[in-house]
């Protein structure tokens, strides 16, 4: 969660609620949008000196906006692009499938049907997002490039981390990899659907015997 937050505020200073909205809309399959988890992560980042906070009043409401610091940029630069730790990507929920054979036959079938239905729903959601992204990608890149160029600190931090010579190229790279993540999600769900449908077919066949 700490690195997700740093990724967000490297590109734009945000309140915790703006971060949460972004996660809900774009990263729901990657991380939790729990305010408690986010508040804990923000506290740790503040203690490490990786982020700073400014307060302002908007519609008579006091708000806190978070910014990445020079130390945060230094840390982020050392983290981003390093190999994925696959051990950390393992889900405890997948342990349910490992031990599913303990459950009665009807429970196994119900589990698989529910899982397949959820995967189909997630697939359709991601497909709609990808279609929208495909149609607006060039406009989004242009708009974000303009926004970041208007903030010298953001532009400087992004160029330092990315190693690119232009903000436009750095923004294009970011956008491309966000699209790749969508493609990965779609292909993974397709593979999961194929696998779980195969297991369900076996269960239904065995239950008839």
Per-residue pLDDT of 168-187, as tens digits, reads 999 999 999 999 999 999 99
Q: Is the pLDDT of residue 205 over 70?
A: yes
SS3 63: strand
Which residues are CB-contacts of 24 (< 8 A; sequence separation ≥ 6)? Answer: 33
Q: Is the pLDDT of residue 90 over 70?
A: no
Q: Is the pLDDT of residue 86 over 90?
A: no
* CA-based nearest residue to 128, from 25, 209, 38: 25
H helices of 89-166, in order, are: 94-98, 105-149, 152-162
Average the pLDDT over 117-142 and give the result.
92
Average the pLDDT over 62-83 and give the result.
92
Q: Are 23 and 4 in contact (CB under 8 A)?
A: yes
Q: What is the pLDDT of residue 95?
A: 78
- Highest CATH level, class, for 1-90: mainly alpha
- Residues of the chain with pLDDT > 90, as a percent, come to 69
Residue 2 belongs to what H/E stretch?
Answer: helix 2-11
Q: What is the pLDDT of residue 208?
A: 66
């Amino acid at each position: 969660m700490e690195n997700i937050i740093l990724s967000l505020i490297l590109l734009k200073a945000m309140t915790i609620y703006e971060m949460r909205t972004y996660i809900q809309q774009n990263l729901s399959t990657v991380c939790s949008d729990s305010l408690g988890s986010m508040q804990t992560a923000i506290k740790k980042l503040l203690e490490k000196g990786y982020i700073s906070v400014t307060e302002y009043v908007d519609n008579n409401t006091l708000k806190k906006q978070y910014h990445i610091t020079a130390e945060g940029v230094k840390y982020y630069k050392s983290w981003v692009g390093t190999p994925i730790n696959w051990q950390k990507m393992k889900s405890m929920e997948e342990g349910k499938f490992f031990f599913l054979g303990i459950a009665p036959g009807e429970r196994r079938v119900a589990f698989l049907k529910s899982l397949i239905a959820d995967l189909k729903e997630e697939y359709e959601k991601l497909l709609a997002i990808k279609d929208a992204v495909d149609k607006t990608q060039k406009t989004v890149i242009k708009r974000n490039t303009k926004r970041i160029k208007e903030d010298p600190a953001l532009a400087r931090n992004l160029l330092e981390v990315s190693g690119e010579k232009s903000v436009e190229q750095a923004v294009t790279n970011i956008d491309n990899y966000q699209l790749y993540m969508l493609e990965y999600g779609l292909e993974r769900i397709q593979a999961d659907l194929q696998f779980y449908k195969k297991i369900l077919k076996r269960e239904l066949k065995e239950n008839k015997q």
